[in-house]
């Protein structure tokens, strides 16, 4: 299979319904999905399958046992990190073909090790209500993926 326009990377996702929804999104827009373990569920989980419905055969999926395995397989990236605590808005990101868009787990995010590693810039989606800590993972991925597709000229059709 040819290299994807974009790569969505979920690091230690915990909620199968979120991952199923993201899988459905990646199938719909033809970007590759990377799941980096340990996962908080089984890939055979009925909630995961239900959220993705009958779209799973269309998902360009890669799995990795842990972050070390993922970064060994893709040492050069390019990586863009997304965190509720990042310094810059995702609107400031300049997306390019082949980008790896990294998102962390629902409860722990990407974690300090990855965020401070210097592998790429970190961005956030602005939240205006101080009482809301973060957005749902599948919503955040959707927002970022569609902005990347817009910048790459893929939304004209």
Give residue 71's pLDDT: 97
Which of 1-10, 52-61, 101-110 is the most confident on average? 101-110
Give residue 69's pLDDT: 98
End-to-end CA gap in the chain: 23
pLDDT band for position 157 (cuts 50, 70, 90): low
Please answer whether residues 100 and 110 qualify as being in contact, where contact means their C-beta atoms are separated by less than 8 angstroms: no
Please answer whether residues 13 and 35 qualify as being in contact, where contact means their C-beta atoms are separated by less than 8 angstroms: yes
Give residue 113's pLDDT: 94
Each residue of 108-152: pLDDT tens digit? 999 999 999 999 999 999 999 999 999 999 999 999 999 999 999
Give residue 41's pLDDT: 84
Instruction: Dump strand ranges (E) for 1-157.
Output: 6-11, 32-36, 61-64, 79-82, 88-89, 99-103, 122-124
Give residue 3's pLDDT: 84
**106 pLDDT exceeds 90?**
yes
Sign of CA dihedral 73, 69, 65, 138: negative
Instruction: Return the CATH class of domain 6-151.
Output: alpha beta
Give residue 26's pLDDT: 97
38 preceded by cis ω (within 30°)? yes
Give residue 2's pLDDT: 75
Rounded Cα distance, 18 and 104, in Å: 12
Q: Please tell me the total number of residues recorded for the chain in this structure.
A: 157
Q: Burial level of 48, CB count in 10 A (0-12/13-18/19+)?
A: buried
pLDDT band for position 1 (cuts 50, 70, 90): low
Specify whether the backbone of 151 is left (phi greater than 0), alpha (psi in -120 to 50) or beta: alpha
Please answer whether residues 114 and 11 qualify as being in contact, where contact means their C-beta atoms are separated by less than 8 angstroms: yes
Each residue of 10-58: pLDDT tens digit? 999 999 889 989 999 999 999 999 999 999 988 876 766 665 567 888 9
**Among 83, 85, 65, 84, which residue's Cα sits nearest to residue 12?**
65
């Amino acid at each position: 299979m040819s290299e994807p326009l974009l790569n969505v990377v979920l690091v230690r996702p915990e909620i199968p319904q979120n991952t199923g929804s993201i899988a459905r999104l990646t199938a719909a827009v033809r970007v590759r999905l990377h799941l980096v373990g340990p996962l908080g569920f089984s890939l055979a989980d009925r909630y995961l399958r239900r959220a993705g419905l009958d779209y799973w055969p269309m998902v360009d999926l890669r799995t990795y046992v842990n972050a070390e395995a993922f970064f060994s397989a893709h040492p050069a990236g390019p990586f863009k990190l997304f965190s509720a605590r990042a310094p810059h808005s995702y609107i400031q990101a300049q997306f390019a073909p082949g980008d790896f868009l990294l998102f962390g787990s629902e409860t722990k995010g990407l974690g300090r090790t990855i965020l401070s590693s210097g592998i790429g810039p970190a961005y956030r989606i602005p939240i205006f209500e101080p009482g809301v800590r973060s957005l749902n993972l599948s919503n955040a991925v959707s927002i970022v993926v569609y902005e990347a597709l817009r910048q790459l000229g893929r939304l004209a059709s």
